[in-house]
Amino acid sequence: MRGSRSDRRAARVNCRWSHRHSHHGAHSGGHPEHCHQRWRLLLGTIAGMVGLSQATPVQAALQVTTPQQPAWMQPALSIIKEFEGLELAAYIDAVGIATIGWGTTMYPDGTPVKMGETVTSAKAESLLVNALLRDYAPGMFRALPMAKEFTSQQQAALISFTYNVGVQALEDSTLRKRLIAGEPASTVISQELPRWRYGDQGTTLAGLVRRRQAEIALFMKHSTT
């Protein structure tokens, strides 16, 4: 269930000044409903003329913002993309599953990817980011509560691993049992991740070997566990 729905929303801009002074609309040459656009254009012009390096309080109030990504997101995306690769047309992966984009095997509504389907690069990015936010990161943190205290790189490594093997596999793993039992995380990760290197025929896959090595290296980066 790698697919997920994109649901990013921008914050609305507050324009109380305009509504408070709406009776000046006729003199200002337009209705106060257009204040957002006028003020952005005016402030942008002023900033360009005086060389402002930072937004003024008024500019900051008028800027549209987006939700901040968790610290693990960028390192997780980097390692996942390195090993999944981007395919805009559906293909059969190493274990025989129809896959598209950055490793998506199922869409948000639960429909599996089918051969012959295509996506745009933007859609592929959306499917990956939101799958991590909705399914794989929550699933990893639920299975491994102690990971909330890990570094963002360690969390990213485990999210990459979970995205590859699935939440259920993580929940059933010896890796999880050992971490919950209190064994040192660095020892468990270095010993358990390399075991997950086999394809559907029980043969070792070089790509999985490299991925596990990369995930271990990322986990050990600045490790304190």
CA–CA distance, 182 with 197 (Å, rounded to integer): 25
Q: Domains in the chain and their CATH numbers?
A: 16-62 (no CATH), 73-84+120-220 (1.10.530.40)
94: confidence class by pLDDT, cuts 50, 70, 90: confident
2: closest CA among 163, 212, 169, 161? Answer: 163
Select which of 33, 82, 84, 171 is catalytic. Answer: 84
Of 3-17, 24-38, 102-116, 133-147, give the lowest mean pLDDT range.
3-17
Residues facing residue 101 across a β-bridge: 87
pLDDT digits (tens, 9 = 90+) for 45-61: 433 433 434 444 433 33
**Amino acid 67: pLDDT:** 63
User: How confident is residue 44, by pLDDT bands cut at 50, 70 and 90?
Assistant: very low
Residue 108's DSSP bridge partners are none
CA angle 159, 92, 1 (to 5 degrees): 40
CA–CA separation, 62 and 130 (whole Å)? 27
3-state secondary structure of 95: coil
Is 183 among the catalytic positions? Answer: no
Q: Is residue 35 predicted with pLDDT exceeding 80?
A: no
Mean pLDDT of 152-161: 98
Measured between alpha carbons, how far is 189 from 136 in angstroms, rounded to an integer? 18
Average pLDDT, the chain: 78
